[in-house]
Amino acid sequence: MLKSRSSSSRWPTTPHGGGWIPHGYHLAPHSHPQGQLVYAAAGALATTTERGTWVAPFNRVTWTPPGFVHSHRIYGKTDARLVAVPADRCGELAAHPCVCAVSPLLREALLVLTDREEVRPGAHDRLLAVVIDELAESPEQSLHLPEPRDDRLRAVTDLLHADPGRAATLVELGRTVGASERTLSRLFHTELGMSFHRWRTTLRVHHALVHLTNGWSVTETAVECGWSNPSSFIDAFSEVVGQTPGRYQANLRGDGP
């Protein structure tokens, strides 16, 4: 039986359920024999595997298949919901960790699964089938930040992780780490599957989500994360997240639809 949501400020110890988790909470790397969905009904969380980091605000859900070592970090006070997917059902979902959009139906099913005790036999299994059906139709979202293996490329991404707002060009970063712009550009595409600009934009959006969740203004967030003006930040954020920073904050406050 699924366990109902706890009010404690600890990561749930059962495979199903949830609780309010404080900002900054970190769950060390671990794995599960079953698949796991983690949904932040409020707040935001990051999930990290050897393939990189995924950030999931309230309009995204993180999927981790069985056997993948992963860790979680919480940003802002977060209402974290966990749903375990039996191994024999995981073949219907992606074979790799990812973040998917949360439709209104998927959100309500996740909330019911983690909020209510099962009243009628089989009710939770039927709801889980709805969740799997919705996820199977939901496109993967672009909040994945892959991490490199090449030492030269890792030196560059480490610099940007330390200061996401750093305005250095790839040429300038290459000089710092001793690699040419051409080499680094090739490595971004071959190792990470995206351009330098796209990778840095995604990194900045990750940090922007954290700042917005913590109550920073759109302008403060834009400046801190390296955008030259709020308009360019709003455009980039909207492209990656699927809504404007203002709408994201309104939904955090419960003012959104």
Query: Residue 183: which H helix or E strand, with range?
Result: helix 181-192
- Report whether pLDDT(123) > 90: no
pLDDT category, 13, cuts 50, 70, 90?
A: low
CA distance 165 to 94: 33
Would you say 216 and 207 are in contact if contact means Cβ atoms under 8 Å apart?
Answer: no
Structure tokens at 231: 């308009």
Q: 0.95 exceeded by the pTM?
A: no
- Residues 183-238: tens digit of each pLDDT: 999 999 999 999 999 999 999 999 998 888 888 999 999 999 999 999 999 999 99
CA distance 225 to 113: 36
Would you say 100 and 135 are in contact if contact means Cβ atoms under 8 Å apart?
Answer: yes
- What is the pLDDT at residue 242? 79
CA distance 11 to 13: 6
- Count of residues making up the chain: 257
Q: List residues bridging with 17 in a β-sheet.
A: 82
Listed in sequence order, the residues at least 6 apart from 59 whose beta carbon sits closer than 8 Å to its beta carbon are 101, 102, 241, 242, 243, 251
Three-state DSSP class for 205? helix
